[in-house]
Amino acid sequence: MAQLTMNAEELISYDGFYYDHRIKLVIEGVNEKNYKKAYAKLLDIAGDEIYDDCGKSLGEYRPGCDTLTVFPLDLIHKRRYSFNDLMRIMYILTAENGCEWDKAQTMKSICPNMIEEAYELVTAIYNNDVENIVEEAGDVILQGVFHCVLGEKEGLFDATDVISGLCRKLITRHTHIFGNVKANNAEEALAAWESAKNKEKNYKTPSSKMDSIPSHLPADERAAKALKYAAKVGVGENDKARAASKIREDIEKVEKGGSCEDLIWDCIVLLRLNKEDAEVLLNNKLNDFISRFKRAEEEGGGDITSLSKEEMEKIFKEKK
């Protein structure tokens, strides 16, 4: 049986340690002083039955029991899982004898899944639904891991490349943490991040930053980002009153048969000046509309058309 042996103090000192459950993990040098920290670390990374020299451990140090052991477990019978377990499962699913659907996927074919899972996580967060946040965050992580496994199959990159790139970016862009830049508040920290990013990406002009905005981003979010980059060099409206006046002019043009294009754009301008997000506001309004629509259906006995115009207006126009 393969075995990994390490000292308790060594285990405790690790900020990140992924345990491979196919091997036996033995922690030596356990004592009354370090037991709780070592046990908690083992419980976090192994999550299964932990044994000491005197038998199954119950979380309390027993004199003379100076070794903690976690025995190998198959994937099916584990109670807690690590990142390594997730990678193993995905390798199994995409292997020759794995799942037919998983084997048939490509990075492009699962792109819609990534978008859907991201939106489902955001929905759970805004709903303060902790149970669904846990589930949907897992689904988002799954999509990232799926891409890593598919990239490895194609000989393009693997999970280590992805994680290494991420860790390197977190270090090089947090110059106020890992460098000599000073940041005393969130705004200064963000400025430090953006400065490091501009240097790393070699952004020479605001338009080069605009070119980097993902083309598949919703149009309102792309517009907001482009306007933000322009505003940093003094281009664009910076007065809320003038922005609101422009919207009134746009409405007059629409009333005379013009397009809504300028109206939509100028609304995004005003949102930026008001430090609001179109996606958030529109979703809030949509949820409110759906709630009122359902209420109208109920008051109409399941038939919303049975309500009078006055009854409908009362439901849809009353204050929240």
Q: How many Å apart are CA 106 and CA 109, to the nearest integer? A: 5
Sheet holding 51-52, edge to edge: 3-7, 24-28, 68-70, 51-52, 55-56
Q: One digit per residue, pLDDT tens: the chain, 320 residues? A: 789 899 999 888 887 666 777 788 999 999 999 999 999 888 877 766 788 988 888 888 999 899 999 888 778 877 778 788 899 899 999 999 999 999 999 999 999 999 999 999 998 998 899 999 999 999 999 999 999 999 999 999 999 999 999 999 999 999 999 999 999 999 999 999 989 998 888 888 888 889 888 888 889 999 999 999 899 889 999 999 999 999 999 999 999 999 999 999 999 999 999 999 998 899 889 989 999 999 999 888 888 989 898 998 899 888 77
How far from the centroid of its chain's Cα atoms is residue 214's Cα?
Answer: 17
Tokens of 133: 């946040």
Tokens of 179: 């460098």
φ, ψ of residue 32 in degrees (nearest 5):
-60, -30
Q: Could you confirm whether domain 83-157 is CATH 1.10.287.1080?
A: yes
| Res 204: pLDDT | 80
CA separation, residue 218 to residues 13, 50, 58, 107, 213 (Å) = 44, 49, 52, 21, 11
For residue 146, what is the enclosing H or E element?
helix 130-153
| Res 13: pLDDT | 87
For residue 6, what is the enclosing H or E element?
strand 3-7
Question: Torsion angle, CA of 97/100/104/109, rounded to 10 degrees?
Answer: -140
Adjacent-strand bridge partners of 5: 26
Q: How many Å apart are CA 152 and CA 159, to the nearest integer? A: 8
For residue 269, what is the enclosing H or E element?
helix 261-273
| Res 16: pLDDT | 63
